[in-house]
Amino acid sequence: MHRIAREHRRRQDRGAHNRRSNFPPHLPNIVQSFPLLCLSLGLATTLASPLPTGAQTRTRNVVLIVTDGLRWQEVFSGAERPLMSREPGGVSDTLSLIRDFWRDTPEARREALLPFIWGTVARQGAIYGNASAGSVARITNTFKFSYPGYNELFTGVFDPRIDTNGYPPNPNETVFEWLAAKPAFTGKVAAVATWDAFDRIFNPERAGIPVFAGWRPPFASKAARTPQQTLIDELYATSVKYWPDNSFDAPMQLTAKEIVRTTAPRVLFVGYGETDEWAHSGRYDLLLRSARQVDAFISDLWTMMQGMPQYRGTTTFIITTDHGRGSGDVDWRDHGQDVGGAENIWIAMLGPDTPALGEVKTGAVFQNQIAATIASLLGEDWGRRNPKAGPPLPQ
């Protein structure tokens, strides 16, 4: 199964390289057209304005959470009935999958799949990207795969040089690196993820940010490990490496919680990878079960942090994906430059400065706005540091 995912990534990389010479010399500036697009879709009448630079916020901590490649279709409508099958969904036990995830309405199906997202985040915060209801959430990079997407998330800018998942260490400064250099955030920025490419995407050697990614035991370098840290390291070291470059979500979740407990970061990235890998492998059943488990992991992390004095009432979660996927019997597995619809994503927010807008059904938001949003919530101005970045999301 993993061979399918790796072949897909190689195909994406080759395609990106082959089309690089045809890349348009001047991309339309999506951000510049943002106010007009918002007005045309009615966003100006339904959402508040972005936080002004330097505004007082209640947020003192931000957690950016990405579940790789999870489609907006599942987020807003739940399980897709034709894919709950042996073909084209690769499902081994269709009866149990239908029992667990099929409901009569899209609203009931999405709550069965993502109970925390719809029971807490969407009620107390905001969620964007239901394309069938008129809400636009999109990436601005044209490649529609992971490394370009994460670079856009972390910098607010599409860099056409990053045209392969095997790209070398990121030459661009991320908002995480910039914040980590500020006295208020020194030693308080971290990243935890399943995919080992984050060692290149964050460029920790230059950025000075601890990155815990891939199958590397996260606490092995510590002079003295706690019993919990020793156990976590043993899980990484002894698990069967189904995907050589991507660990399982469960031990990564334990790592993220341990990092929060022991170092109390103010800015944290958490990257779950199974939702992308199971889709590439053509296993719709494991995609759904992984998505529901990610929802439970996010709920667990939220509950844990709200129980800690330094996080309670002062923490914002931004939850999203790095790219979308296609539709139909085949393209639900895939994404990339030649896959229609893979530019569509979703974004959810929960925190003290996010109004309870619920499901936003009008307007447009973009992936390149998230970096500035992280900074803005913390009272910082990423746009002054990187003028090409998208503006903060509406708050």
**pLDDT at residue 153 above 60?**
yes
65: Cβ–Cβ under 8 A, 6 or more apart, which residues? 269, 270, 271, 272, 298, 301, 317, 318, 319, 320
Show the tokens assigned to 307: 């129980």
Beta bridge partners of residue 316, listed in sequence order: 62
Q: What is the pLDDT of residue 16?
A: 39
3-class DSSP state of 214: coil
Span 161-168, mean pLDDT? 98
Please return the burial class of 210, using the count of CB atoms within 10 Å of its CB with bins 0-12, 13-18 and 19+. middle
Domain range holding 85?
2-16+61-385
Alpha helices in 106-248 (DSSP H): 106-113, 115-116, 122-124, 146-155, 175-180, 198-201, 204-207, 227-238
The answer to the question of residue 37 being in a domain is: no
Q: What is the pLDDT of residue 56?
A: 85
The answer to the question of residue 45 being in a domain is: no
Span 67-74, mean pLDDT? 98
The answer to the question of residue 67 being in a domain is: yes
Of the chain, the percentage scoring pLDDT greater than 90 comes to: 85
Mean pLDDT of the chain: 90
Q: What is the pLDDT of residue 250?
A: 98
Show the tokens assigned to 194: 């399943």
The answer to the question of residue 42 being in a domain is: no
**pTM of the predicted protein model:** 0.89
The answer to the question of residue 251 being in a domain is: yes
The answer to the question of residue 185 being in a domain is: yes
Q: What is the pLDDT of residue 175?
A: 98
Show the tokens assigned to 176: 């995480």
**pLDDT at residue 253 above 90?**
yes
Q: Domain containing 380 — which CATH number?
A: 3.40.720.10
The answer to the question of residue 219 being in a domain is: yes
Contact 272, 217 (CB under 8 A): no
The answer to the question of residue 44 being in a domain is: no
The pLDDT tens digits for 273-324 are 999 999 999 999 999 999 999 999 999 999 999 999 999 999 999 999 999 9
**pLDDT at residue 249 above 50?**
yes
Contact 392, 379 (CB under 8 A): no
Q: pLDDT band at residue 51, thresholds of 50, 70 and 90? A: low
CA distance 255 to 191: 10
Q: pLDDT band at residue 42, thresholds of 50, 70 and 90? A: very low
Q: What is the pLDDT of residue 394?
A: 85
What's the total number of domains in the chain? Answer: 1
Q: What is the pLDDT of residue 149?
A: 98
Q: pLDDT band at residue 34, thresholds of 50, 70 and 90? A: very low
Span 340-350, mean pLDDT? 98
Residues 93/96/100/106 CA torsion (nearest 10 deg): 60
Span 370-378, mean pLDDT? 98
Q: pLDDT band at residue 375, thresholds of 50, 70 and 90? A: very high
